[in-house]
Structure 1
Amino acid sequence: MAENFWKDKYPVGIAAEIDPDLYPNIQAVLKQSCQRFADKPAFSSLGKTLTYGELYQLSGQFAAYLQQHTDLQPGDRIAVQLPNVLQYPVVVFGAMRAGLVVVNTNPLYTAREMEHQFNDSGAKALVSLANMAHLAEQVVPKTGIKTVIITEVGDMLSPFKRLLVNSVVKYVKKMVPAYNLPQAVKLNAALAQGRGHAVREANPVNGDVAVLQYTGGTTGVAKGAMLTHRNLIANMLQSRAMMASNMEEGAETVIAPLPLYHIYAFTFHCMAMMLIGNHNVLISNPRDLPAMLKDLRTYRFSGFVGLNTLFVALCNNPEFQKLDFSALKITLSGGMALQLATAERWKQVTGCAICEGYGLTETSPVASVNSVQNNQIGTIGIPVPSTLFKVIDDAGNDLPLGQVGELCIKGPQVMKGYWQRQEATDEVIDADGWFKSGDIAVIQDDGYTRIVDRKKDMILVSGFNVYPNELEDVLVTLPGVLQCAAIGVPDERSGEAIKIFVVAKPGVTLTKEQVMEHMRANVTGYKVPKAVEFRDTLPTTNVGKILRRELRDEELKKLAKA
């Protein structure tokens, strides 16, 4: 497909190209925004707001601490394991200003998952919430991490509120298991030690890695996608271009319920919204709808970023339906497929249409999005500026418009590659820079694209990638398991739910409770299966490979009959 095919597909007011080399690095964007929007609110959480000026000051204190009081050098990796609290942007931007590479880490990870990611990334430092510090205590000695910084939920609040919130979390809700990390430094102490010291501002080139974002990619083995400064700056500029006619710089308030450690929320809230000086309201736990609704009543919000599961939960809540949506002008959906019924219900409740987008960790992540001016529900929109799409057949041949094939993406936001995995990189990025997404799609004559299916066996639970290989590897460590398989089955709430099939060893009796207990102990909550079925045999190929697709087809047939 000719590159100029895309040039005339953008609505009036949206440029077809951006300049990914406009800024030398993320630090330059941050400095410009924090000066330009110094008095504007940047992030709010638990009733406290940081302005852009305060964000720059605090991130500078953290950067100075890292430079003055640790042995960390530019290029070293720092694992950041925090939920949506004010500490997150302070730590991330401070680490970047000190020249470190941020390794986003899910706070819900088990010790096994943490150990893999910390060792694979070669992390030398960890910033963790006290709630997870008992796991860090187990894991850190098995890694190369020497610097450990611990923070509590309320640490950015006023002294009285900090004491109140931290005491409730620790003693009333009992959410902070005992831990012993004698080498750990409290974040507030680190900020105090950095105060008054000048920061030696890092000045990486735009091809240097800024973030290692872990993903299972297309194989299920957790790999770090190397996202460079140029990748992330390109995605900031691409996002800004697509929203140019709908979002006023320095004037919007956007709700941020999705976790910042996930690439979708990270790029949108910490990168794109930072570029244009807008206000991000951090929701620390979107499952706590009463608390979230309190925030939604407090702020006159004009933007909302979510995914299908969350939209469904909110629209079914009577208190949400009573909110004032008069300022809401843009709602963005990504992370999982948006269902038509959900889009219609959201529009009915809020008066605002949902614009669905598409992306992957490997594309920083935004690859395409529906514009407000021309929103086609059921599609993932058009490629963002300076981005090309094509579909190919199994032999790698380009297919014409309207044909179904694997979606390939080319643009300045495509990752540098997988960290220390050249072979895996070569499997997904060809010599011309095309990234194979692993998704099956069709490109329409108007340039809008529909995702038809996933090529691989990946399961998508509420926007999070779950890989059957990992689940099966964990499950076979349970004594008595002979064979097993994990598949995704349709689920109204989460898009897909995990079902596992187990064949027990001869003479062994296993129970569902044993299986579930084993999985809960070894994988993050969203990876725990919802259903377990015991069988005598599983369908396999003639060389013994288990046919997950046959199992999925059986489940779909059962659902069709139900």
Structure 2
Amino acid sequence: MPREQATPAATASAGRSPSAASAVDNLADLVRVQATARADDTALIEGVDAGRSCTWAELDDLVERGAAGLASLGLLAGHRVTICLDTGIDFVVAYLATLRAGLVAVPANPRGATGELVRQLADSRSRVVLADAVTVDTVRAAVIGVAEALEGMGGRGGAPTLVVCGLPPAAGELTLEQLLEPGRPRVVTPHDRERLAALLYTSGTSGAPRGAMLTHRALLANLEQVAAIDPPVMRQDDVVLGLLPLFHVYGLNGVLGQVLNQGATIVLVNTFDPVAMLDAVRTLGLTNLPLAPPVLSAWVGQPDLAQKLRGVRLLISGAAPLDQEQIAEFEAAGGLTVQQGYGLTEAAPVVTSTLTRSGGTSPAGSVGGALAGIELDVRDSAGRPNVDDDPGQVWVRGDNLFSGYWPEGEDGPDADGWYATGDIGLLGSQGELVLVDRLRDLVIVSGFNVYPAEVEDVISAVPGVAEAAVIGVQDEQTGEAVVAYVVPTAGTDEAVLLDGIRDRCEAHLARFKWPREVRLVEELPHSANGKVAKGRLRAAARGEDLGLT
């Protein structure tokens, strides 16, 4: 079954939440819709201590003033604004004000390296960058380096204007308070769904960070697609945990975007303390928990977990794979079904959900079926639809897809609207998607394909393994060889562990899949959304091969 379209269960009307996204052409207009419908309802809460909050009417006013402030700087429609702020109300205001002014939002990792930010500022040609107490040192250093970087890239132009939030400005800088000053002329918001809304930098399928060009059409389409799920992913009466970083597409559109669409309340959190967060679930009345796998791992051992999660209506895990053993352990301890989905930055982001299946249940190991309005296909290496049950590359088609990579729209959907995701998967008999691995993580040993996720699953089942990651390294005889990085649990006998890994691999894997080497490490590098940063492992291994480390 090579192709999957949304099933009737995904488009059922019973229980569906109303979608404001269908009535607007600029995502920022969702705030105005909610301010009109529920002016005095709480929209945003900042921190588990609820130290700061705002209603929908207050948020709409802040966004309007912010848009006017940006326009007063001489910015024109389509100019880029980099937002390097920690998760909080200021980020939301800056993001929505940028969109309302017809500008393009460029979220940046608030904990990223200076060099990374220099490249992003230079590549996007951002005219303004916002910073807070967490990011200001990095941003100031990056602003200094932008002019030099632009010159090296063959471009021209000066450094962006720096707007600081919650701290005094240095010479030549502005404050967010100045940007939000009342009394400026109201901006005329462009209403064109094909207008570029956001540049989200992602490694994509190439490995090098590139700006995925997301239009208002893509962002709004995905909000409508998610809102069509029954049972509903989000309702107006939900209090939603906003723990996922807003510079990441899952937090930005998958969570915040749906809050704007449904008029729910979101609690914005920028640090994760397992105990404090669980207490906040109860004290703040959180009902909807969009999470990443590391949170489930941190919570599963907490005492009285089911009691603490008793008021939660829905728990969804995304952004990184979650194995069946981890799901079963959490469901047993927490008393909640763990729903999953699959998405990517280029799809704004949600493509599948286990909630699309009747009763919100999907076969074990799957990430659910396609959302309404989204098509899936699994194709071979030549781009032809698979005719057998072998894994193939997952292709996606839908209005939620991006318009290619900045600035020329390269490597976007093909002429028929299909996009090759770089993920390897299978489609089940009911159209459910089962992910196998990332195409760029594929290891080819003597011409045979090795999917690291398969090897990782085998190794992770060995007692004493806390975490495992598998990569390919160059090998003179086989082209590539498998190397496993393993984090032992505390107190584990390393010799016994290595023997156990070897024995299990020999028992459960074909010989060409066996790790040539198992490296025991204290920790694995992770990205901000909880995924193992395999690129760093490959870079380190390559450095060793070249004698650089």
TM range (shorter): 0.7 to 0.9
Going from structure 1 to structure 2, the CA distance change for 1:395 and 1:28 (only over 3 Å counts) comes to same
Change (3 A) 1:36 1:338: same
Match status 1:329 vs 2:313: yes
1:187 equivalent in structure 2: 176
Asked whether the 8 Å contact 2:245–2:251 carries over to 1, the reply is yes
State the match for 1:141 in structure 2.
144
CA shift in 2, pair 1:445/1:405, >3 Å: same
Give 1:243 shift.
5.0
The CA RMSD over aligned residues, in Å, is: 3.8
Q: Which residue of 2 aligns with 1:546?
A: none
CA contact (8 A) 2:4 2:376 kept: no
1:265 equivalent among 231, 251, 259: 251
3-state SS in 2 of match to 1:139: helix
Change (3 A) 1:343 1:491: farther
The one-letter code of the counterpart of 1:280 is: I
1:26-60 Cα offsets, whole Å, 9 max, x none, are 13323212211222221111312211111111111
CA distance in 1, matches of 2:439, 2:229: 28
Q: Paired residues, what number?
A: 461
* Offset, 1:224: 0.4
Partner Cα separation in structure 2 for residue 526 and residue 131 of structure 1: 24
Identity value in percent? 25
Q: Judging changes above 3 Å, is the alpha-carbon distance between structure 1 residues 537 and 310 closer, same or farther for their aligned structure 2 residues? A: closer
Mapped to 1, the partners of 2:163 and 2:84 lie a distance apart of 10
Match in the other structure for 2:62: 58
Corresponding residue for residue 419 of structure 2: 435
How far apart are 1:525 and its partner, in Å? 12
- CA deviations on 1:330-371 (whole Å, 9 max, x unpaired) are 111111111212222322233221110001110011011111
Distance 1:340 1:532, change over 3 A: same
3-state SS of the aligned residue for 2:308?
Answer: coil
SS in 2 for 1:335: coil
Where in structure 1 are there 5+ consecutive unaligned residues?
A: 156-178, 473-484, 494-515, 540-562
User: How far apart are residue 62 of structure 1 and its match?
Assistant: 1.3
Distance in 1 (CA, whole Å) between partners of 2:227 and 2:542 is 52
Alignment of 1:119-518 (within 5 A): 119-143=122-146, 144-152=158-166, 181-191=170-180, 193=181, 195-245=182-232, 247-249=234-236, 251-286=237-272, 288-318=273-303, 321=305, 323-371=307-355, 373-376=359-362, 377-400=364-387, 402-425=389-412, 429-457=413-441, 489=485
Residues 348-406 of structure 1 deviation map (CA, whole Å, 9 limit, x = unaligned): 23322111000111001101111172322421101111000010011111114744211
- Residue 100 of structure 2 corresponds to 97
* Counterpart contact for 2:39–2:55, Cα < 8 Å: yes
Does the 8 Å CA contact 1:402/1:445 hold for their aligned counterparts? no
Q: Which residue of 1 aligns with 2:117?
A: 114
1:10 maps to which residue?
Answer: 10
SS in structure 1 opposite 2:309? coil
Give unpaired runs (5+ residues) of structure 2.
147-157, 443-451, 457-468, 475-480, 490-521
Structure 1 Cα separation of the partners of residues 238 and 68 of structure 2: 31
Q: Whole-Å Cα distance in 2 between the matches of residues 422 and 401 of structure 1?
A: 33
CA gap 1:184/1:341 in 2 versus in 1, 3 angstroms: same
Conserved in 1, the CA contact under 8 Å of 2:165 and 2:175?
Answer: yes
Do structure 1's residue 32 and structure 2's residue 33 form an aligned pair?
Answer: yes
> Cα gap change, 1:436/1:131 in structure 2, threshold over 3 Å: closer, same or farther?
same
Deviation at 1:309, TM superposition (A): 1.2
CA distance in 1, matches of 2:418, 2:163: 39
Residues 1:535 and 1:95: Cα distance change in structure 2 (over 3 Å) = closer
Contact 1:111 1:136 in 2 (8 A): yes
Tell me: CA distance 1:386–1:401, structure 2 relative to 1, closer, same or farther (3 Å).
Answer: farther
Secondary structure of the corresponding residue to residue 131 of structure 1: coil
Q: Tell me if structure 1 keeps the 8 A contact 2:29–2:100.
A: no
Shift of 1:151: 1.3
1:291 is displaced (CA, Å) by: 3.8
Q: Distance in 2 between matches of 1:26 and 1:536?
A: 44
Distance change (3 Å), C-alpha of 1:21 and 1:49: closer
Which residue type is aligned with residue 209 of structure 1?
A: L
Q: Secondary structure of the residue that 1:388 maps to in structure 2? A: strand
* Aligned mates of 1:222, 1:310 — CA distance in 2: 26
* Aligned-partner Cα distance in 2 for 1:61–1:180: 20
**TM superposition shift of 1:282:** 1.2
In the TM superposition, what is the alpha-carbon distance from 1:126 to its structure 2 partner? Answer: 0.4
- Answer yes or no: is the 8 Å Cα contact 1:126–1:145 preserved in 2: no
